[in-house]
Chains A and B, each alone.
Chain A
Amino acid sequence: MQVGLSTKNAPSVWVVVPHFLIGAVSFLIASVFLLFNYEDLLGYHINASVLAVLHLMVLGWVSMIIFGALYQLIPVVMQVKLYSEKLAMTTLACMVAGLFFLIAAFLGYKFQLTNNFIIGGSLVITAIVLFAFNTLKSALESKEKSISKYYIMASVGYLALTVLLGLFTVINLSYNILPVAHTELMKTHLVLGLVGWFLMLVIAVAAKLMPMFLIVHKTKENLLRWAFYLINAGILIIFVSVFVKQTPGYVDLFSFVLIFAGLIMFLLFNYDVFSHRMRRKLDIGMKLSAVGLIILVAAILSFAAAYFGSAALGLPAGRIEIISGLLLVYGFFTGLILGQTYKTLPFIIWLYYYQKLVGKQKVPLVADLYSDKLAAIHLFSFVLSLLLFLTGLLFSVKEVLFLAAAAMLFTSLVYGFNVYKMIFHKKIII
């Protein structure tokens, strides 16, 4: 084998592809739920249906696709084979079963330690521990010293902490093991999950893929190093402070400033890559990713505004938190995943069908495996949906929220059709 090639380390198509399929289905189901429960977004508290949609989005959609994409990217970023494909499939089975019970638990509308919570939570934790083991074991076998590798290792560690703290929060609600306010535990659970797991992983992937796809050679890696230190410091302070009694208010503020500073470094890194790109024309995958990054700026501003509270902004209680979460999960993460799907999934399928035929027969291009037009349509409906959500939430207009949820459902349907088209591709010989 020639040194530096990742193809021979690439995982089987059967390991990666089901994650994309289940991810697309989860996005669709979450969008249907949202369409039937959109009025809950205007509620005073974050209620059970919002939590069901949120967990379906973060576990079934965002995490599922990240799992699949990471199995494919480990050989690219770390130049090693995934430690175990069997473990990856077991992880998937546990995750799907766990998610099923967890959503049923949330939809039971009881914030108690029900059996569904215990079964669902335990299965999700098992899935995540297996995933963390598989990923970290692969990382430890890699001799690569890229910044992406360290981001991946940190993010996987945070993922394990997120689910453990999530389960602990539910147990503590019933048994009061530690005298910590459950809102504080929830906040830390959220920060660990959204910033520690998702954002750190997104940075890891972006650090490798953005310059690769846009053809940029010299990147400002120092910005990513600073971002790594700042974000980690911020998360760790938040995590430790939740267990310290009566932490002064400025500790929270300080840790959020550190995280924001890190995110700004990450955005500056991307800005530099985009402005020095050799490939000026953006394909649909990169357009969607760019939209995701722009929404990250809006999400940062929104989270900063959340510090002052909804009342100070003239909004009903809890509203700015909903807007911030929506911008991050439905905006940034979803935008990036929609885009990166077109940069990863068609490749796996193309390599599966055509790798051995190149040069012998005329084969289609990677981009021929999906409809560019459909992708452009869901780019439009996705942006429209977010704008409608913002308008509906800022001005408390139910009808606008309904339209926003409908536009998101439309986005998930069109995206789902394109994913279907890629996964069930029929071999073309030109």
Chain B
Amino acid sequence: MLQENINAEEAKVYELLKQVPDPEVGVNIVDLGLIYKVSINTVGKTLDVDVTLSTPGCPVGDTIIQHIQTVLENNYIGYAVLVDLVWEPQWNPDMISEDGRAELNA
């Protein structure tokens, strides 16, 4: 639902972020609906990602953020990668994609 109006490069970032799982649930963070915004500036070489967590105080929050940072820095060399943890809008299970739901119960 949050991947509307994105360009090809941003779509590529979303695909890359599918490599990052929530270690407890075992489903990737894109299909869990945890990525709220991806914004890439190829001229200024900046890459901004807004991510949320399923609950405040989530014990694996740091791990997820660090994983996103590493994946993006490895694939966008020379870019300034900024991962922001946001709480608005509050995450809810309706944000999980169809693929995510299927994976959850696989």
Query: In the complex where A79-B56, A279-B104, A279-B105 touch, is A215 in contact with B62 (Cβ < 8 A)?
Result: no
Chain A 336-393 interface residues, beta-carbon cutoff 8 Å to B: 347, 350-351, 355-356, 358-360, 365-367
Interface residues on A, range: 20 to 34
Say whether A4 faces chain B, with CB atoms less than 8 Å apart: yes
Chain A positions within 8 Å of B, measured between CB atoms, are: 2-8, 10, 72, 75-77, 79, 212-213, 215-217, 278-281, 347, 350-351, 355-356, 358-360, 365-367
Task: Indicate if the CB atoms of A3 and B85 lie closer than 8 Å.
Answer: yes
Query: In the complex where A213-B24, A359-B74 touch, is A76 in contact with B59 (Cβ < 8 A)?
Result: yes
Chain B positions within 8 Å of A, measured between CB atoms, are: 20-21, 23-26, 53-63, 65-71, 74, 84-85, 87, 92-93, 96, 101, 104-106
Residue among A5, A10, A76, A350 facing the most chain B CB atoms (10 A cut-off): A5
B residues within 8 A CB of A366? 23-24
Task: Indicate if the CB atoms of B96 and A278 lie closer than 8 Å.
Answer: yes
A217 and B55 CA atoms in complex are apart in Å by: 9
Task: Report the tally of A-B residue pairs with Cβ distances under 8 A.
Answer: 95
Shortest distance from the beta carbon of B97 to any chain A beta carbon, whole Å: 12
Task: Indicate if the CB atoms of B85 and A4 lie closer than 8 Å.
Answer: yes
A residues within 8 A CB of B92? 217
Query: In the complex where A281-B104, A366-B23 touch, is A212 in contact with B67 (Cβ < 8 A)?
Result: no
Task: Indicate if the CB atoms of B63 and A5 lie closer than 8 Å.
Answer: no
Task: Indicate if the CB atoms of B104 and A215 lie closer than 8 Å.
Answer: yes
Shortest distance from the beta carbon of A132 to any chain B beta carbon, whole Å: 22
Task: Indicate if the CB atoms of A360 and B105 lie closer than 8 Å.
Answer: no
A351 and B24 CA atoms in complex are apart in Å by: 11
Shortest distance from the beta carbon of B1 to any chain A beta carbon, whole Å: 15
Task: Indicate if the CB atoms of A5 and B61 lie closer than 8 Å.
Answer: yes
Query: In the complex where A279-B25, A358-B67 touch, is A75 in contact with B96 (Cβ < 8 A)?
Result: no
